[in-house]
Chain A
Amino acid sequence: MGCGMAENAGGFRAGRTAFREVDLFDTGKQRTKTAGQASLPGRPAGVGRRAWERMDRGTRFALQAAREALDEADLAGEMPVFVGTSAGAMPLGEEFYRHAVAGDRLGQFQRVERYQPQRQLTTMMRELGVAGPLRIVSNACASGANAIGHAFQMVREGRAERVLAGGYDGLAQLVFAGFDSLQALSPSGVPRPFDAERDGLAIGEGAGFVVVESLESARARGAAVRASVLGYGAATDVHHLTQPHPEGDAALVTMTQATRMAGLEPEQIDYINSHGTGTPLNDVAEAGAVRRWAGDAVGGVRLSSTKSSIGHLLGGAGAVESVICLMTLEGQWLPGSLNIREVDPAVSFDLVREPRDAEVRHALTNSFGFGGANATLIFGREVAS
């Protein structure tokens, strides 16, 4: 969709999509050949050329997003860094594999070293001028949401004044082919979350980062506060390794936990950025969880999936979708679930099919991952006095 808050907000507000033919690796023998492939931004000011060249694609996205978050918060220096990723620097691992099979040892030490996400993110921290403990959460597609949730809990409990938190993933052949092997990718390349005829997801790539800071600390610095983090829930769906519980049991738990922590009722949530992948099983399970969570108020719940615009960012999804929630709180509009032709009968909520203006005081985002990692975050526009 673009680089930076303004460009992305403009894209979602206008209802744009970001799918195109993948040219990073060979998709000739795949059923699907498109993805939400992003344009890689240039080297940011202040980042060393050598460090940038040694970064994998995903970490470059992460660095860009983290740089923007820190600049906006006017911060650097000591703080913990919590990052979610599913694939890490997988393309470098793929490169290592291909050279190993060929028997080519040249450059292999650099490849194996740079393949490791902790190495990449430690370099990123150094380039950002941030120092502190690093925590890399890899809970598949919930990783980014979990990283922000961890940061929220750490600040909420007074164990840190602030935490840089987010998530990222870049496109990787192994992952692309993996989802294709599961027949989870939309053959048409157009994901249609909550459409009755939806046929799969589209992979995307990118990063989202936030600085989670205590209100006292932000106020003392005179920092502008974008939103409040109000609630977080995490639970494990033990139904199946890759399929959600059909009724969305774990999703119901995380949504309930998060709203309870936020001190809100479902009818006070003005927008849900759903996990909404566009796969037959995910969407019906999430729709069921939302129906059970909201009860009689479900008809008033406004929900969309921005994966219909940019695809599924895997480990980065929860973080980017959190940032999209911040955009809706700030701009007072809702992004749409695009490409829908006929709404699935499981949908009982107000499915937002195109961008619209709306009053948004509280926004909720759901993230569910392979392995059953489920997470929900709630953000509020009002900042407590």
Chain B
Amino acid sequence: MSRIVASGVGAVSSAGWGMDALLRVVESGEPPARGEFERTTADGRTVTLPVTRVPKLEDRSKLPRDPRLRRASAVGKYAAAALFEALGPERFEEVRAGKVRLGVVCTMMNGCVNYSNRFYGEVLSDPATASPILFPETVYNAPASHLSAVTRCTAPNDTLVGDGAEFFTGLELAAEWLERGDCDLCAVVAPEEADWLSAEAMSYYSSRMCPSEGAGAVVLEKDGEGPRLMAVPDAVNYADEPDRVAGFARLWNELGVDDDGATLWCDGRVGVGRYDAAENSVEWRGPRMSLRPLLGDSMGASAGLQTVVALAKLTAGAAERAVVTSVGGNEGLGGALWAR
């Protein structure tokens, strides 16, 4: 692999809009405030589920101004704000002016379920009045499309769907595009939005996982300044290796991680033993962080948020290297190794 570096990071999370808010929560270890989804079923029961949501946007300057975002779903806005921060205002304008070609890779698991939920509810009620404004926002690639639209950039734009480890496939694809010269910069963005339907879905996996939402964005480029992407091996697919502990051992080996005390491991543990077994199977003495129990599980966005925190730590000189991993729920295991 050529020298592929992360030249910008951005985040929207339950900690707030922007990297500063995220890092403050990570440093303090104090979880963001929890709320709840409450709804009444057709048979009159009340269902209440916890959620750690992204706080309301107070500072409008964190979101690019563009007509496309007026009707965009929250997941599209999270993606746009994270990308805007990762690019920074100067590069954002350069992309918009056509001086720099920006590729976009969005990775997601839950995607635009909030709008699908609302639209399908309307369809069942009366399809003749179902909103034509909602439907386009239900499509997986709507957020990615908004990113290209707000940056006015016609370079390649792909949405990859998968489990919680999909973000690493996105990094791999972005590296391919940069190597080939398909774009000058490539943003890998993992946005997700929580709603009652997805929260309820998550509750069937474990009542101990608190659903969350947000977006993590990394801007990659070739031969620039920033933490270097050292390894992003092919994800280990469960069709190939159904045993997660064995699969993780394979991934770990391919990542080439040294437990040398100078490597930070930002793992994907959720705080539930059966889901954490693979990452618990590795003996590790170096620094280690688990963000999901702190921030909530933002599904496909979690690996993106882990990555931006790890990159911020590298940039701040807190470690020489950082490894980020995720054990996906039903597709595979992925990870990436970065160096300062």
Which one, B42, B104, B204, contacts A103 given CB within 8 A?
B42
A93 to B239, CA, bound (A): 23
Choose the segment among A34-42, A54-62, A299-307, A367-375 that binds chain B (4+ C-beta atoms closer than 8 Å). A367-375
Contact between A131 and B240, CB atoms less than 8 A apart: yes
- A-side contacts of B155, CB under 8 Å: 235-236
- B-side contacts of A78, CB under 8 Å: 240
Q: In the complex, how many angstroms separate the beta carbon of A84 from the nearest chain B beta carbon?
A: 10
Contact between B154 and A236, CB atoms less than 8 A apart: yes
Contact between B148 and A97, CB atoms less than 8 A apart: no
Contact between B135 and A373, CB atoms less than 8 A apart: no
Which one, B45, B149, B238, B239, contacts A130 given CB within 8 A?
B239
SS class of chain B's interface: helix, strand, loop or mixed?
mixed
Contact between A125 and B161, CB atoms less than 8 A apart: no
- Number of chain B residues close to chain A: CB under 8 A: 68
Q: In the complex, how many angstroms separate the beta carbon of A138 from the nearest chain B beta carbon?
A: 4
Contact between A86 and B156, CB atoms less than 8 A apart: no
- B-side contacts of A125, CB under 8 Å: 237, 239
- B-side contacts of A242, CB under 8 Å: 136
Interface status of A180 (Cβ within 8 A of chain B): yes
Taking each of A96, A130, A182, A236, which has the highest tally of chain B beta carbons within 10 Å of its own beta carbon?
A: A236
A281 to B117, CA, bound (A): 28
Contact between A181 and B145, CB atoms less than 8 A apart: no
A373 to B138, CA, bound (A): 16
Interface status of A173 (Cβ within 8 A of chain B): yes
Which one, A29, A146, A183, A237, contacts B158 given CB within 8 A?
A146
Contact between B161 and A136, CB atoms less than 8 A apart: yes
Taking each of B139, B142, B152, B180, which has the highest tally of chain A beta carbons within 10 Å of its own beta carbon?
A: B139
For window 125-163 of B, CB contacts with A under 8 Å fall at 126-128, 130-132, 135-136, 138-142, 144-146, 148-149, 152-163
- A-side contacts of B68, CB under 8 Å: 241
Taking each of B127, B148, B204, which has the highest tally of chain A beta carbons within 10 Å of its own beta carbon?
A: B127
Q: In the complex, how many angstroms separate the beta carbon of A134 from the nearest chain B beta carbon?
A: 5
Q: In the complex, how many angstroms separate the beta carbon of B188 from the nearest chain A beta carbon?
A: 14
Interface status of A101 (Cβ within 8 A of chain B): yes
Contact between B135 and A133, CB atoms less than 8 A apart: no
Contact between B330 and A369, CB atoms less than 8 A apart: no
Q: In the complex, how many angstroms separate the beta carbon of B289 from the nearest chain A beta carbon?
A: 26
Known: A133-B234, A157-B180. A103 touches B154 (CB 8 A): no
- A-side contacts of B138, CB under 8 Å: 174, 178
Choose the segment among A107-115, A189-197, A200-208, A282-290 that binds chain B (4+ C-beta atoms closer than 8 Å). A107-115
A137 to B158, CA, bound (A): 7
Contact between B135 and A134, CB atoms less than 8 A apart: no
A315 closest partner in B (C-beta): B140
Contact between A371 and B41, CB atoms less than 8 A apart: no
**Can you list 5 pairs linking A and B with CB atoms under 8 Å apart?**
A103-B42, A116-B109, A119-B331, A236-B153, A373-B145
